[in-house]
């Protein structure tokens, strides 16, 4: 008998070869197959008459093949396949470029379903056309009369699900339709997975019914709701997926609370030490956030906290305050930055701020001499250094600590999610290793074995990020971290004035830069590429640097910074800019991350249309850090796409990093948001965290309430079933780390 857990190769019509193809798509059981939802639906019950079609609309039509053939265009020498379909006297032209493969495909008299964007016919003599329509020849294979009619009833006369094809088109939408239909027919009752009270509160329909409705909607179902995934069937499946994600994350958080950590003491002496270093009055947000961090650090389990704060919100001082708590308790602190420039900058500000505290602060960078590095590492392993600052890679790969208590990860924007998890784990391992063998190279394997036998205290972890994380992501990928938000900028800053200027008016921009320089203010000028390239007409950093120096801004001191310079050169330029010895710094996005020069008050971004929204926001964050009024000038070339236009409008409309992050997520979609596809993203099948954020919030609330109100030691049957479901689905479905 078929069950949800039945492997797909036992489904009638699926052999081992096809099963393998499906496995590649993450479909290995009947249940997986049922989560393969249509990506759209066609109304073939009430298809549009050809006569009613209007140019510009997306439409499904069912019509008869009248004729077809291949012709070549003189202009591009392309093969174009044309098929004419008709209904009575109305006609529709369908065109496929490079359509040779379609020769012989259509026979006059066949019924075809066509879907695509209707346009005025540009190739023939008036009338309407669809270019590259999706199509299906209805009732094609001669499988015998009866079988044919039964199969046809899945293709016409109803709302028909359209599936993404697989195996380079060999497994067609039609194939999925038949397989999934037959699976649903043969599947007996499906056990409920969500506790009954929640189903009731959320008005969820039963699982089996939801599968039916999402694949084979009833005749009266609204096409708009289907496309928006808002039918009761969709809602049920989406909620279920999000509910178990949130339940798993919540359990993971709870489990973390059972790991042994360090209870740092926060007594008057520590408080005094913190007070002594503060160079300014902390903002209310900084106070609130420090309180959250300090209270975590006092707990007997390891802190895992995310500190989110827009660029310039003052995260550094908060991190150093946390460091003082650990150091005053006799522990070491590691502060890791994504680049050497940033590590160095952190080192310099730590030195400045902690100057009178008497701590040993070390900077460890890749470009140091081997001997020097070895020396430093020995100090760290002996416990001589209290605060160790370096790049992520360097610290996590080569440094052993005598007694690490706090790991601060400045992840900024470049740092992916996966690395973050690795670092945390690594941090706890290094603690394990050094606590047993402080002076020799640890053997990872034995260290790990020891960890199992007597789990030592894990250090606390504080991850700082300058990319505000949209709430939907905070609820999913970062769902197992506690989160603190610095939602206030330090006082005395006036908002940056942002303006968009087309390239034709560049001369005005350079005049402005000259005036600002005369007033003693510095300017960044950012380009999307380092060097000019013959294929694209894009202004580039190196060429513009020369042009600005010689022709446009002679007399000003101009510097050049880009990723291909040697580390030393980069540092030298940066240092000169920092000291005010350079008026205009021409750069690529290497300055995007964390650079702090308060006297720089103008940010000119050329070809702003080519930058991502998060990048633009980061770049703008480099200015507005001092007392002078700051200006961000977005210069645009001639070709600005619609999406780029939206990004520019967002930049002009708001400076709120959270709003920008939400918009960025919307524009790019969850997969692309972090640059690396799927970096730690749960692989959701039916839910989309942007589209379904309302259900995500509800799922989180229900999951948390369920665990809060239940006896987890002796779960009631409902809950036990939910846990069972979670256990069997977590690893495969959500692709996250194992759960307890």
Q: Is 338 in the site for ligand ADP (CB under 6 A)?
A: no
Show contacts with ligand ADP in window 473-512 (CB under 6 A).
490
Give the nearer residue to ligand ADP in terms of CB position, either 313 or 523.
Answer: 313
Report the greatest alpha carbon distance in the chain. Answer: 92
Q: How far is the CB of 386 from Mg ion (least distance, A)?
A: 21
Q: What angle do CA 640, 643, 644 make, to 5 degrees?
A: 45
Query: How many angstroms separate the CA atoms of 469 and 657, rounded?
Result: 9
Q: Which residues contact 157 (CB under 8 A, 6 or more apart)?
A: 44, 45
Quote the CA–CA distance of 701 and 716 in Å, as a whole number: 20
Closest CB to ligand ADP among residues 312, 680: 312
Q: CB count, 10 Å around CB of 331? A: 22
Site for Mg ion in 139-198 (CB under 5 A): none
- Report, in Å, the least distance between residue 312 CB and ligand ADP: 5
Binding part of the chain for ligand ADP, among 121-129, 226-234, 307-315, 711-719 by CB under 6 A, reads: 307-315
Residues 270-289 within binding reach of ligand ADP (CB under 6 A): 280-283, 286
User: Minimum Å distance from CB 512 to ligand ADP?
Assistant: 25
Instruction: Give the count of beta carbons closer than 10 Å to the beta carbon of residue 382.
Output: 13
Least separation in angstroms between CB 349 and ligand ADP: 7
Taking the C-alpha atoms of residue 174 and residue 140, their distance in angstroms, rounded to an integer, is 11
Site for ligand ADP in 632-691 (CB under 6 A): none
In the bound state with Mg ion, the residue whose beta carbon lies nearer, of 248 and 594, is 594
When the beta carbons of 596 and 702 are compared against ligand ADP, the nearer one is: 596
Q: Applying CB under 6 A, does 309 fall inside the site for ligand ADP? A: yes
Contact in structure between 390 and 364 (CB atoms under 8 Å)? yes
Token pair for 585: 């710094």
Task: Answer with the entry of ligand ADP, Mg ion, none that 313 interacts with (C-beta below 5 to 8 A by kind).
Answer: ligand ADP
Q: Which does 483 bind (CB under 5 to 8 A by kind): Mg ion, ligand ADP, none?
A: none
- Vertex 23, ends 727 and 1: CA angle to 5°? 70
Q: Which is nearer to ligand ADP, 281 or 374 (CB)?
A: 281
Shortest Å distance, C-beta 410 to ligand ADP? 8
* Contacts of range 290-297, beta carbons closer than 8 Å, 24 or more positions apart: 290/318, 290/321, 290/322, 292/482, 292/484, 293/318, 293/321, 293/322, 293/462, 293/484, 294/266, 294/322, 294/325, 296/460, 296/482, 297/262, 297/264, 297/266, 297/322, 297/325, 297/326, 297/406, 297/460
Q: Is 130 in the site for ligand ADP (CB under 6 A)?
A: no
* Interface of this chain with Mg ion, residues 593 to 612, rule: CB under 5 A: 594
Residue 735 near which of Mg ion, ligand ADP, none (CB within 5-8 Å, type-dependent): none
Q: What are the backbone angles phi and psi of residue 584, rounded to the nearest 5°? A: -130, 120
State which residue, 428 or 618, has the beta carbon closest to ligand ADP: 618
Kindly state whether residue 414 participates in binding ligand ADP, applying the rule CB under 6 A. no
Query: CB-based contacts of 403: which residues, under 8 Å, 6+ apart?
Result: 330, 331, 332, 383, 434, 435
Does residue 386 belong to the site contacting ligand ADP (CB under 6 A)? no
Which listed range, 254-262, 311-319, 431-439, 704-712, lies at the site for ligand ADP (CB under 6 A)?
311-319
Q: Which does 309 bind (CB under 5 to 8 A by kind): ligand ADP, Mg ion, none?
A: ligand ADP
Residue 339's Cα: distance from chain center in Å?
21
Q: Which residue is nearest to Mg ion (CB)?
A: 594
Residue among 304, 617, 625, 685 that touches ligand ADP (CB under 6 A): 625
Q: How far apart are CA 463 and CA 731, in angstroms?
A: 25
Q: Out of ligand ADP, Mg ion, none, which partner does residue 657 contact, by CB within 5 to 8 A per kind?
A: none
Q: Which does 430 bind (CB under 5 to 8 A by kind): Mg ion, ligand ADP, none?
A: none
Q: Cα-flanking dihedrals φ and ψ of residue 6, to 5°?
A: -60, 130
Query: Which of 623, 624, 567 has the alpha carbon at shortest distance from 590?
Result: 567
Structure tokens at 704: 């948390």
Binding mask 307-346 for Mg ion (x = CB under 5 A): ----------------------------------------
| 315 near ligand ADP, rule: CB under 6 A | yes
Q: What is the Cα–Cα distance from 216 to 153, expressed in whole angstroms? A: 12
Our finding on whether 316 is near ligand ADP (CB under 6 A) is yes
Query: Is 624 near ligand ADP (CB under 6 A)?
Result: no
Considering only residues 577 to 596 of the shown chain, the ones binding Mg ion according to CB under 5 A are 594
* E-assigned strand segments in 180-234: none
Cα-Cα-Cα-Cα torsion 449, 450, 455, 459, nearest 10 degrees, comes to -100
Residues in contact with Mg ion by the rule CB under 5 A:
594
Residues in contact with ligand ADP by the rule CB under 6 A:
280-283, 286, 309, 311-317, 466, 490, 596, 598, 625
């Amino acid at each position: 008998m078929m069950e949800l857990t039945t492997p797909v190769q036992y489904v009638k019509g699926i052999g081992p070869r096809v099963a393998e193809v499906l496995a590649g798509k993450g479909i290995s059981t009947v249940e997986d197959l049922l989560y393969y939802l249509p990506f759209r639906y066609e109304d073939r019950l009430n298809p549009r008459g050809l006569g009613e079609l209007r140019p510009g609309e997306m439409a499904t039509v069912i019509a008869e093949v009248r004729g077809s053939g291949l012709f070549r265009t003189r202009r591009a020498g392309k093969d174009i396949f044309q098929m004419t379909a008709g209904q009575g006297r109305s006609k529709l032209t369908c065109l496929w470029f490079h359509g040779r493969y379609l020769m012989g495909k259509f026979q006059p008299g066949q019924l075809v379903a066509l879907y695509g964007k209707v346009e005025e016919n540009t190739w023939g003599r008036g009338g309407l056309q669809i270019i590259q329509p999706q199509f299906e020849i209805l009732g094609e294979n001669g499988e015998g009369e009866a079988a044919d009619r039964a199969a046809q009833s899945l293709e016409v006369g109803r709302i028909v699900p359209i599936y993404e094809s697989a195996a380079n088109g060999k497994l067609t939408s039609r194939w999925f339709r038949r397989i999934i239909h037959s699976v649903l027919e043969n599947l007996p009752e499906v056990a409920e997975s969500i506790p009954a009270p929640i189903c009731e509160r959320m008005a969820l329909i039963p699982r089996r019914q939801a599968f039916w409705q999402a694949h084979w909607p009833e005749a009266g179902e609204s096409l708009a709701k289907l496309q928006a995934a808002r039918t009761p069937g969709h809602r049920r499946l989406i909620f279920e997926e999000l509910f178990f994600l949130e339940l798993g994350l919540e359990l993971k958080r709870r489990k973390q609370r059972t790991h042994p950590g360090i209870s740092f003491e926060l007594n008057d002496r520590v408080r005094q030490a913190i007070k002594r270093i503060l160079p300014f009055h902390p903002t209310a947000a900084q106070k609130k956030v420090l309180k959250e961090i300090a209270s975590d650090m006092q707990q007997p389990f390891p802190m895992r906290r995310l500190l989110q704060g827009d660029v310039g919100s003052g995260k550094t001082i908060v991190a150093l305050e946390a460091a003082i708590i650990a150091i005053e308790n006799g522990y070491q602190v590691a502060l890791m930055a994504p680049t050497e420039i940033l590590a160095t900058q952190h080192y310099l500000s730590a030195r400045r701020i902690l100057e009178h505290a008497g701590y040993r602060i070390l900077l460890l960078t890749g470009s140091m001499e081997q001997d020097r590095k070895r020396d430093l590492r020995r100090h760290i392993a002996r416990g001589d250094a209290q605060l160790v600052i370096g790049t992520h890679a360097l610290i996590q790969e080569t440094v052993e600590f005598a007694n690490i208590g706090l790991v601060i990860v400045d992840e900024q924007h470049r740092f992916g999610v996966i690395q973050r998890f690795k670092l945390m784990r690594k941090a706890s391992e290094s603690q394990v290793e050094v606590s047993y063998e402080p002076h020799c190279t640890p053997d990872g394997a034995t260290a790990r074995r020891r960890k199992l036998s007597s789990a030592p205290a894990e250090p606390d972890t504080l991850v700082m990020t300058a990319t505000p994380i949209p709430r939907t992501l905070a609820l999913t990928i970062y769902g197992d971290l506690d989160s603190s938000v610095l939602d206030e900028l330090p006082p005395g800053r006036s908002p940056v004035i942002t303006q968009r200027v087309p390239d034709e008016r560049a001369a005005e921009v350079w005049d402005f830069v000259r005036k600002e320089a005369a007033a003693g203010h510095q300017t960044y000028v950012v380009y999307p590429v380092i060097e000019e390239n013959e294929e694209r007409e894009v202004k580039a950093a190196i060429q513009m640097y020369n042009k600005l120096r010689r022709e446009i801004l002679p007399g000003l001191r101009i510097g050049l910074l880009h990723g291909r310079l040697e580390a030393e050169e980069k540092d030298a330029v940066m240092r000169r800019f920092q000291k005010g010895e350079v008026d205009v710094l021409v750069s690529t996005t290497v300055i995007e991350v964390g650079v702090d020069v308060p006297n720089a008050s103008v940010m000119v971004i050329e070809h702003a249309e080519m930058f991502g929204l998060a990048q633009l926001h980061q770049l703008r964050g480099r200015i507005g850090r001092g007392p002078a009024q700051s200006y961000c000038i977005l210069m645009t070339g001639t070709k600005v796409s619609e999406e780029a236009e939206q990004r520019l409008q967002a930049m002009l409309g708001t400076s709120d990093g959270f709003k920008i992050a939400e918009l960025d997520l919307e524009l790019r979609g969850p997969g692309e948001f972090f640059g690396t596809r799927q970096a730690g993203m749960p692989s959701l099948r039916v839910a989309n965290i942007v589209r379904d954020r309302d259900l995500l919030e509800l799922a989180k609330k229900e999951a948390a309430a369920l665990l809060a109100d239940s006896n987890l030691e002796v779960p009631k049957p409902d809950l036990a079933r939910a846990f069972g479901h979670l256990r069997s689905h977590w690893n495969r479905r959500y692709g996250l780390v194992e759960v307890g």
